[in-house]
A = this chain, B = another copy of it.
Amino acid sequence: MTQAAIQQPTTCNGFSLLALGDTVEQVTSDPSLARAAFAVRSEWKGAAKVESRVTGYELGGQSIAREHVIHSDEPRELFGQDAAPNPQELLFAALNACMIFGYACKAAAMGIEVQRLSIETQGSLDVRGALGLADVPPGMLTMHYTVRIKAKASAQQLRELHESVMALSPNRYHLTHPIELVPKLVIE
């Protein structure tokens, strides 16, 4: 057996296991390094069009510059021009992406190689709520999602992975728990 054959794998699911281990060690020994602060500035572009920008984030008190733009609009039937996904679709994408990252990353930590992974989320609302036309909630009470996974693991391990993501996904937490939203109105 060659030296290479007995070495531990250094990556799993595209993640560096060394980087994962280093981060775990760092945030465990100094919890102040574990604070991640995100910010998004969104600007109205007429009718239902919005342009949202990320210019950076903070990790462990350090500012890290990044540049990303997220466009949104509404479908034509809901007063937009359908130039981009709408806010509810962005929300579903945010939920799915967070959980998918959770499955892939936790699987890597468990030594499970994921071959295919997708999530489809669905939900409906009554637009009379948001329009203030009826005493119905403005949003969805329930969202359904289906996780499809193909991985080199037992059904038991995959159910354990599934339970872990349900417990630990940040955006799943944000939707299943009431978050305090603190507004400030500035009239210019």
Contacts and interface: CB of A to CB of B under 8 A. Distances in A.
State the copy count for this chain. Answer: 2
B182 A162 contact: no
Contacts of A128: 27-28, 31, 34
A46 B164 CA distance: 19
A85 B100 contact: no
Interface string A123-138: 1111111111110011
Interface of A: 13-16, 19-20, 23-24, 27-28, 31, 34-44, 46-50, 52, 54, 57-59, 64, 66, 68, 70, 72, 74-75, 77-79, 82, 84-98, 100-106, 114, 116-134, 137-150, 155, 158-159, 162, 164, 166-188
B92 A179 contact: no
Given A35-B125, A88-B170, A91-B91, 7 more contacts: A14-B46, A27-B127, A68-B89, A86-B97, A87-B171, A143-B179, A147-B186
